[in-house]
Amino acid sequence: MEKSQLQTGKSIVRNVFYGFLTWILPLGLSFVATREIIKALGTEDYGIYALVLGFIGYSFNFSIGRAITKYIAEYRINGEVEKIKEVISATFYLNIAVGVIVIGIFIGFSRFFVTDVFEIETAAQNKAIYGLYLASLIIFISMLSQVFSAVMQGIHRFDVYSKIYNFNSFALLAGNLILALYGYGLLTLLVWNVVVSFLSCVIFAVYAKRLLPEFGISLKFGREILQTVLKYSSGIIGYQVLSNLLLLFERGWVTRKLGAESLTYYVVPMSLSLYIHGFVSSLLLVVFPLASEMKNDTEKLLRLYTKATKIVCMTVVFLATSLIVESYYFL
């Protein structure tokens, strides 16, 4: 029993380390890439680029698939593996449905966002509109990708997840940097984002099928499974709708009052806070499937959440204090 617990402890530490790699490796390159991309695009075009990326980051593409992580871990520990294919299928089609709605919203309202909400200068309006079109495609692909990446987390294969995620981050940042240095504009950079997102989605899908014997996508899933996924995902969808409304207000106000160029100076410092958020999230990736497995053991679950909360508080205080003290150096 003690040996088993020791192996479990080692596995958790190893998975935390892999989660950490999904943050630290892209961060190092992003510090170099962001500065050079701003110089290459100019502050106005980078402001529009950041605006488009904001929609991608705040939208529905990063969280709905968590239902898969939760229920794969839960069903495997309870011996209900026959339900795994159903929950994957239900989540997959739910993501497609929400993704199609997102594309429809972007196509229908992009011009309104650009001209009336953000009041971007006339000369830059068309590329901003096309940028939002590309953003909707990236969101759609990312929503499909999260179905397969969630499988990696649910079966505790954070090593595979980390490698694919780092490939995605490195290819994205390196490609954007090279394209910007060679004089390509923001739309080309966004097209490259589409390409890399698609490649990552395919790779995640291949490994999900290879590593999870119960993996499959079918139209045959019970109404109860669909209701379970919808119930779990409804809160996630709700807070992301609110996040998008906040984004429209926040970025819209800055762009309308101060211009796209000033948005660059607003977004770059804020990215430091997002790095802290990403760091904490990378460390806690392992907590989510563990919590699902400990669902019926409240004592272990309490210890898990207590330790995780202490780690988060200590990490956030240290990093926030460091950024406050060294803010001039970072900027």
DSSP annotation string for 30-77: HHHHHHHHHHHH-HHHHHHHHHHHHHHHHSTTTTTTHHHHHHHHHHHH
pLDDT computed for residue 73 by the predictor? 79
What value does the mean pLDDT take over residues 18-28?
60
Tokens of 44: 């106005």
User: 268 vs 212, which has greater pLDDT?
Assistant: 212
Q: What gap in Å lies between CA 267 and CA 276, rounded to an integer?
A: 15
pLDDT tens digit sequence for 109-121: 889 888 887 778 8
Residue 231 clears pLDDT 50, i.e. is over it: yes
Neighbour count for residue 318 (Cβ, 10 Å): 11
Mean of all residue pLDDT scores within the chain: 79
The interaxial angle of helices 84-112 and 66-78, nearest 10 deg, is 170
pLDDT computed for residue 198 by the predictor? 95
Considering only CA atoms, which of 184, 44, 58 is closest in space to residue 125?
44
What are the C-alpha distances in Å from 231 to residues 94, 224, 244? 12, 10, 21
316 CA to centre of own chain: 20
- pTM (2 decimals)? 0.73
User: 98 vs 270, which has greater pLDDT?
Assistant: 98
Question: Residue 3 — pLDDT band, cuts 50, 70, 90?
Answer: very low
Q: What gap in Å lies between CA 76 and CA 168, rounded to an integer?
A: 29
In total, the chain counts a number of residues equal to 331
Residue 275 clears pLDDT 60, i.e. is over it: yes
What value does the mean pLDDT take over residues 231-249?
74
Is the separation of the CB atoms in 252 and 266 below 8 Å?
A: no
Q: What gap in Å lies between CA 194 and CA 186, rounded to an integer?
A: 13
pLDDT tens digit sequence for 122-139: 888 898 899 999 988 998
Percent with pLDDT over 70 in the chain: 83
pLDDT tens digit sequence for 140-161: 998 899 889 888 888 878 778 8
Q: What gap in Å lies between CA 159 and CA 156, rounded to an integer?
A: 8
Considering only CA atoms, which of 278, 289, 166, 147 is closest in space to residue 209?
147
What value does the mean pLDDT take over residues 263-277?
72
DSSP per-residue letters across 162-224: HHHHHHHHHHHHHHHHHHHHTT--HHHHHHHHHHHHHHHHHHHHHHHHHH-TT----S---HH
pLDDT computed for residue 134 by the predictor? 92
User: 317 vs 190, which has greater pLDDT?
Assistant: 190
Tokens of 127: 């590329």
pLDDT computed for residue 12 by the predictor? 58
Is the separation of the CB atoms in 85 and 215 below 8 Å?
A: yes
Q: What gap in Å lies between CA 204 and CA 144, rounded to an integer?
A: 10
Considering only CA atoms, which of 245, 239, 203, 215 is closest in space to residue 91?
215
| Dihedral sign of CA atoms 117, 119, 123, 124 in order | negative
The interaxial angle of helices 186-211 and 158-181, nearest 10 deg, is 160
Residue 284 clears pLDDT 80, i.e. is over it: no
Q: Count the alpha carbons within 13 Å of 130 in the hemisphere toward its beta carbon.
A: 10
Percent with pLDDT over 90 in the chain: 11
